[in-house]
Each structure stands twice: as C-alpha cells, then as structure tokens.
Amino acid sequence: MAEAERITGTPEPEPGTGADPTTGTGEDGTAQAGPGAGRGRRRILALLLVALLVYVLDLGSKLLVVAKLEHHAPIEVVGTLLQFTVIRNRGAAFGMGEALTIFLTFIAAAVIVVIARIARKLYSLPWAIALGLLLGGAFGNLTDRIFRTPGVFEGAVVDFIAPAHFAVFNLADSAIVCGGILIVILSFRGLDPDGTVHHD
C-alpha cells in the first residue's frame, strides 16, 4: 500500500492519526489541514465576495436614487412597463407586512446568523453563490432598517424598481429572491451545502 502511494504521489497518513488528506477530515470527523479544508475556505470566500458585490450595488443604487430621484417624477426606463421611482417601504420585500418592521429586522438578523452557521461546512460553489445572494440582500435591507428614518430597527427600506402591475422593489429584494430560487433548485437536485449529492 505504501509503495502504491509512493508511486502515485498520494501522501500516506501519519500512523495513528486516521487523517484523510483528500477530504481534510480525520477519522473522528474533525477538521484537518488538507485540500478539503482549502476548498472550504475558497467557497466561503466566494460567498463573501458575492455578498459584498450585492451589498455594494444595493447600497450604491439606493444612495443614488435618493439623491437624484426622490421627490421627482419617475424615470421611464421602458416606457410605462418599467420605471424608477423612490418609495420608502417599512414592510418586507415588495411592500408586504408594513406593521411588522421591528420583527422583520430581527428576521433579517437571524437569516445572517443561520448563513454564518451553514458556511462553516460549505463545500459547494452553487450553494456559496446562493447564500451570498441571501446574505448581501439581507445586509442591504438591514442597513436601511437600522440607519434610515424613522429610527433604529424601524427604518424604511428604499425601493425604486417599479415594473407595471407589480410591487416596487430594490436590488436587495432581487438578490434574496434569486438566492431563494437557486436554493430550491439545488435542493430538488439533491445537492447539499457540504457538496454531497443524495438521491431520494
């Protein structure tokens, strides 16, 4: 066995450790340094980069439309089918639940905590992208609820994308919906956040 591993270049585990160098875990399931651990760090980095991109785009777009568009006539992007107009929304995505602002704030914070816990065992790039979309969107709207009027944890979210015959929303809402749809697709395909695939 040792000779075969020497020929193929596969490192032999240290005697008595039971470590698996291909997965980054030992025989007791604890994390070990190895290619698997490095792959996990890259997936977490991908999650954070996606979340940062979503957050920056959402925050930048909100600052821009508030400065240039609030209290002005809507801008027609595609005639009356798609317009930009600023609306302060104290509810959830797409204007729902306006009487639950504080509750929705804590829900967003809880989502962030759950994502942080899942990320510790994240080895799937599609899941990293999906969770990054959710995380960036949650942080985007949570920033509004904390820092915008009328007060901390009661702030109104800035919405500005207004399709015809539909609720007004923002980029954070879009990221959350896209992340949720991607998670549903991954779940139906049997792909778990740790990279394993199961078939029912």
Residues annotated as catalytic are: 159, 173
For 4, 6, 8, 36, 40, the CA distances from 19, given in Å and listed in that order, are 18, 17, 18, 12, 17
**Eight-class DSSP state of 95:** G
What three-state secondary structure class fits 144? helix
Question: Cα 173–54–151 angle (5° rounding)?
Answer: 60
- Measured N-to-C along each axis, helices 125-147 and 171-188 cross at an angle, to the nearest 10 degrees, of 150
Dihedral, CA atoms, 118, 129, 105, 75, nearest 10 degrees?
180
Cβ burial, residue 81 (10 Å; 0-12/13-18/19+): exposed
